Structure 1
């Protein structure tokens, strides 16, 4: 092969790398993706795709196929806790309690009001081939699997990478202006001297991917994740059971993944025979039921890269941060990383922005990713509150543990207190299954956000409650609007990497100024008034009116990643100067 030149080289073909490829393609940026692995993931791994991730996938055009293949909404309304799955005890498999999960299948009014997209569930083993196919359609011939990065050097103008084609056993060089490291931390970080730090080996987990008919025992159609609190084995983390489809979901799922916790130094976690024995005993089902496809061992950790940028190299996804899967924040964080980065790379490559804009990638994403790490660890640890409420213990006999559960289902003098204790413990799991302000309402603070001097945001609940706001640094509040009889979400106006200027019904001067600045500086931009009457966009459900926080003469400027970057509550004497100053700060360049 001859040497290649490309604006952006993407190293890694997982969720982060494939999303980067798709996003850059939709922004008109040429890229090449190389992956040392021969295929996409062969492990089920992550499976929850939150609302903001699905908004991104909608923008790049792959969301319809994901929704088609994923868990139906009615099969992912809740998560449940059970006294094991099956066994000889009369109360085996009985439900301890359940909790709505991530919007309850898109029926929670807060989730419906937040986004036109519902939370989705599709295991990575099934998701990544869809992403790969779509990325190849957008960027034909520019995705190369089994091509391994073996070296790179940087200079003032770009990155030179040496790639080995493992099939042909040949090497070639790629010259790029920027490189996105989405390789899970395997290679790039070591080559450029960026390390990952944080707590490691918090727990050792074993995952068994299997085909099994569990419908006789897993009978709740609406429950997605089953936490098996097995009294015979001491309580929580006896096992976590997750359906994998692929053609049916709920109890009818053909495939499942079963997760088990081990001590970090337990040698049994590496012994396949002992793992399968424990799984059969814990589940209480005949050993002939499951057909095992893959057993994987992994450690819970909470690590983050020292830097998200080193020269012209940017780190994203597992190459930038790794944390427990509790809460479904890993893959979605990776998707959000590259979405934040891609529009900035596009702006700099097009000459519309200065290099300093790229520094805001770390400034914005690293605090969010660190918060996601902290919350994921807290989510994992919080599951032990179930044991505490039930008063289960590994030190007790199976009979003693079962006796602790009896008051839940059979009335007695301690039943009311026990039931409410369990109720409270399960309600505390909303930090994982209703963490709407963490997964959707996260905010950015950098020079690419123009502070409007309004009071600091003080959340009603920093984890559970997303509060829509147009305060700079917040995500654009969702609202359906109509134009020429067509209904669309306001957020869709950014598609294709556009800035969006939204003014009140008397804010025409803002619109004129925005269009003039866009034309003079070649900035992709959409400007419109929004209101009920006499507006370019009709606020048909009055959602914008409820959340806009500006007057009829005010304005909101939205970045291409749907984040509010500038706001004026009212009109100003010189809207052209105000918008030009704001965009100049955001883009780190002096506009005309």
Structure 2
């Protein structure tokens, strides 16, 4: 297999404010975090990219906030992670989720704590999260994350991040997509020819323009979100970032959730809050600010005159949607344009960034002449089953609160619920038994807040990789347990290397050895010359950098799962594409065969690998408590 190979690219030259290119290699529609991350990833590779966003770049609502280790790895690669860590909480006490009746109030059972679980790599989870990745979990509300990414996008692609430009048409031919763009201010329409298009617009325009159907249940539960300033310093909970509220007045239903937004404190002294109130909690006119504030005060147990300042609000509904196709000719769907699911588990933004990371290295490889267009088909093969799994898992997480209410004895009879709270707080055998039941149901929320197997353990079973027939380690259905492995399709195991340090003397992770373009072949120092000789005989495919690791590096030896003269072939997104337990008799032939499979995007599975997760989505939706 031979494809033309281009020279390394120079940085993108800036575009003037009134300068519009006739052609670009990639056009990104949508200026949210997924679209902007795509623009940065491509621009840093020298890919000619243009991003258009139909709105301005004034970011008004908090939205997502949890950034898991795999996402922070991607942000580290593009130079964004350090800024995120610098702006997030400096302590780890925020890493837990709690359940209360209310935050405060005059009643006997107001402000009663029901339970808590460690979350996002905190408490007893800290060691295993640290072992999974060199990058820590972070918390940054999207209200502040988006401007940060925007600054990096503008710097990486100067003049190429355009606001108030709406895509109104996409025509495709064999060579390119012609994108019609309307200037929102002037109503002028211009056309740009793009080799490829990334639709990261949340599906607002792309769904209609492309006719791609999203399958799954819609509008399952209504939620009203408020971004407010609110004094909760009287709350007895000193540290938690996130709290859920269950109350006899709500029966089996959760009343809502609050999340500290900082920007200085991420605990009860937070200056701003994201308050999510179940739609049924709003009594009276839903457009009346008093009715909205009353629902907040009632949920939190606040006095009628407790001051609240509204910054913004939004209404939305739970969906469990996955696009049937992630590719439509030269257009690729990413983020919410391709999948929509509840926030339980915090997987929405994270999965979108992982879409970007998966897609952009492949686009760069194709545009650089290192791989055929067929490699891009592996984007759907790899990402669609993962986001279907995430969607199912998120919906299942959303059903983990009613069992807590049931263990408390909450139901249709509010007075009986209060009597059962009396049992819950009593120093009696019945109280002991109830507390044990409640604690067990709260602990089941580890599937939401300690879900390292989902966050770090997602892997691809088909796509741009060569399966080796070995079984998936552990129980793939366990969302909590994480098993580091070098099995193809899985993430490269992370260890701090004994034998390698950075230029500043700091330790290097095995992840730090992966090159940003092409593939990385990791092997022992003694075997590296023979692998390099073999690669020198293989031409015209994805470039491969041989990176040796000292033979005696005990940390690496403990996780590599191959022999001393074996090798791992790793993609820029740190997924293992192929492995050889030992040096084969004819390594150049074996490598040539492996690279041929990888660049064509692997073999299509006989059955839709997303279907089992689509069934789980439907099952979880059918029992979702309103």
Same fold (TM over 0.5): yes
**Secondary structure at the counterpart of residue 483 of structure 1:** strand
1:354 and 1:588 in contact (8 A); partners too: yes
> C-alpha displacement at 1:550, in angstroms?
0.6
Partner Cα distance (2:454, 2:442) in 1:
19
- Give the structure 1 partner of residue 508 of structure 2: 488
User: Which one of 75, 92, 100 corresponds to residue 74 of structure 1?
Assistant: 92
CA deviation string 1:283-312 (max 9, x = no partner) = 122333211111211000101112100000
> What is the CA–CA distance in structure 1 between the aligned matches of 2:372 and 2:287, rounded to whole Å?
51
| Equivalent of residue 93 in structure 1, options 111, 123, 143 | 111
Whether contact under 8 Å (1:505, 1:552) holds in the other structure is no
Give the alignment partner of residue 454 of structure 2, picking from 427, 438, 444: 438
Distance 1:38 1:424, change over 3 A: same
**TM-score, normalised with respect to structure 1:** 0.93
Taking a change above 3 Å as real, the CA distance of residues 568 and 267 of structure 1, as seen in their structure-2 partners, is farther
Task: State how 1:370-519 maps to structure 2 within 5 Å.
Answer: 370-393=388-411, 395-397=412-414, 399-459=415-475, 462-481=478-497, 482-483=499-500, 487-513=507-533, 516=536
Deviates more, 1:576-585 or 1:178-187: 576-585
Kept in 2, the 8 Å contact 1:203–1:263? The answer is: no
The answer on 1:226 being equivalent to 2:238 is no
Residue number among 297, 306, 314 corresponding to 2:324 in the alignment: 306
3-state SS of paired residue (2:389): helix
Instruction: Indicate which of 247, 251, 257 corresponds to 2:268.
Output: 251
Among 43, 49, 53, the alignment partner of 1:25 is 43
Does structure 1 conserve the Cα–Cα contact (< 8 Å) formed by 2:542 and 2:595? no
RMSD of aligned Cα (Å): 2.2
Would you say the 8 A contact 2:28–2:35 is kept in 1? Answer: yes
Contact 1:213 1:252 in 2 (8 A): yes
Query: Which residue is equivalent to 2:255?
Result: 238
Offset of residue 406 of structure 1: 2.5
In structure 1, C-alpha distance between the alignment counterparts of 2:402 and 2:601, rounded to whole Å: 51
Q: CA deviation at 1:30?
A: 1.9
Quick check: 29-38 or 362-371, which moved more?
29-38
Q: Secondary structure at the match of 1:405?
A: helix
Query: Among 525, 531, 549, which residue is 1:530 paired with?
Result: 549
Q: Secondary structure at the match of 1:250?
A: coil
1:179 is matched with 197
- The CA distance in 1 between the partners of 2:284 and 2:526, in whole Å, is 70
User: Are the equivalent residues in 1 in contact too, given 2:379–2:463 (CA < 8 A)?
Assistant: no
- Conserved? CA contact 1:14–1:41, under 8 Å: no
Displacement of 1:135: 0.8
Match of 1:262 in 2: 279
- Contact in 1 for aligned 2:486/2:568 (Cα 8 Å): yes
Query: Which residue in 1 is equivalent to 2:567?
Result: 555
1:282–1:147 CA distance, 2 compared to 1 (3 A): same
Determine whether 1:579 maps to 2:591: yes
Distance (Å, rounded) in 2 between the aligned partners of 1:580 and 1:158: 30
Aligned equivalent of 2:308? 290
Q: Distance in 2 between matches of 1:36 and 1:105?
A: 43
Distance 1:11 1:40, change over 3 A: farther
The 1:266–1:470 alpha-carbon spacing in structure 2 relative to 1, beyond 3 Å, is farther
1:39-50 equivalent positions in 2, closer than 5 A = 39-50=57-68
Q: Does the 8 Å CA contact 2:282/2:295 hold for their aligned counterparts?
A: no
DSSP 3-state at the match of 1:414: helix
Comparing 212-221 with 461-470, which one deviates more in the overlay? 212-221
Cα 1:470–1:268 shift into 2, 3 Å: farther
**Partner of residue 13, structure 2:** none
Task: Report the CA distance shift for 1:421/1:254 in structure 2 as closer, same or farther (over 3 A).
Answer: same
Of residues 36, 40, 47, the one that matches 2:54 is 36
- Number of residue pairs matched? 579
Unaligned runs of 5+ in 1: 534-538
Distance 2:325 2:182 in 1: 26
Counterparts of 1:473 and 1:98 in 2: how far apart (Å)?
Answer: 35
Tell me what 1:273 maps to. 290
Structure 1 residues 119 and 236, CA, compared in 2 at 3 Å: closer, same or farther?
A: farther
The answer to whether residue 588 in structure 2 is matched with residue 568 in structure 1 is no
Three-state SS of the structure 2 residue aligned to 1:178 is strand
Which range moved further: 552-561 or 320-329?
Answer: 552-561
Whole-Å Cα distance in 2 between the matches of residues 310 and 133 of structure 1? Answer: 30
SS in 1 for 2:241: strand
- The equivalent residue for 1:536 is none
Distance 1:203 1:143 in 2: 35
Equivalent residue for 2:102? 84
User: How far is the alpha carbon of 1:531 from its aligned partner?
Assistant: 4.0
Deviation at 1:530, TM superposition (A): 2.4
SS of residue in 1 equivalent to 2:459: coil
Q: Deviation at 1:528?
A: 2.5
Per-residue CA shift, 1:258-300, capped at 9, x if unaligned?
A: 1111259998555543222121122122333211111211000
TM-score, L = length of structure 2: 0.88
Q: Residues 514 and 490 from structure 1, CA distance in 2 versus in 1: closer, same or farther, beyond 3 angstroms?
A: farther
- Evaluate the alpha carbon distance shift between residue 217 and residue 492 of structure 1 in structure 2; reply closer, same or farther with a 3 A threshold: same
Q: Could you say if the C-alpha distance between residues 283 and 266 of structure 1 is closer, same or farther in structure 2, counting changes exceeding 3 Å?
A: closer
